[in-house]
Amino acid sequence: MAYEFTDSSYDDYVERMKKSADALRDNLNTIRAGRANPRILDRITAEYYGVQTPINQMAAIAVPEARMMTITPWDPTALRAIERALQMSDLGINPIVDGKMIRLTFPPLTEERRRDLVRQTQKYGEEARVAVRNIRRDAIDDFRKLEKNREISEDQMYMVIDDVQKITDKAIAEIDEITAAKEEELMAI
């Protein structure tokens, strides 16, 4: 039986590539760019009744000023655990306990720190590009199996390789665009 090409033949691969770009956006949102952004706390967990719990699930997070963030735990007993988690994280900001809340004041980034963050951004971008290239390889391998089983012809296989490469190029261009925007944001003074 011959394979029937449809408009949705590549949908699974396109969706997986979009997820790679979305994961890149999530990773880049955790990099602080000199402004207070609650998303930088997404990966920080504190021990709460013996369980590692994300801070954003145990406290109200507010940004009253561009360079300040406040964290108000719903359970006041969690204040010390959140403070310890913030001190042990790689944020590079010392939390200030102010009664029933924690204040995080974001200092302006130094030139050296900006360059470190740009390198980290480039690393995340390269990881996303590698993920997209792996998806391209998976797609071509899947269609090669169809060719081997004589479900598609050699000519169709060349068409598949060309189509998958175009999809890959589009996904990598999007990743490059996301990475460049974050680098520009980091280097802006």
Both structure tokens of 140 = 């071509």
Domain spans of the chain, in order of start = 11-28+110-187, 35-105
Q: Domain spanning 35-105: which CATH class is it, in words?
A: alpha beta
Model confidence pLDDT, tens digit, residues 120-179: 999 999 999 999 999 999 999 999 998 898 888 888 889 989 999 999 999 999 999 999
Residue 32 has pLDDT above 80, yes or no: no
Residue 1 has pLDDT above 70, yes or no: no
Q: Given CATH 3.40.50.800, say whether it is the number of domain 11-28+110-187.
A: no
Contact 126, 142 (CB under 8 A): no
Please state the rounded mean pLDDT for residues 52-76.
88
Phi, psi at 6, each rounded to 5°: -130, 180
pTM of the model: 0.72
DSSP secondary structure string for all residues of 95-160: -EEETTEEEEE-PPPPHHHHHHHHHHHHHHHHHHHHHHHHHHHHHHHHHHHHHHTTSS-HHHHHHH
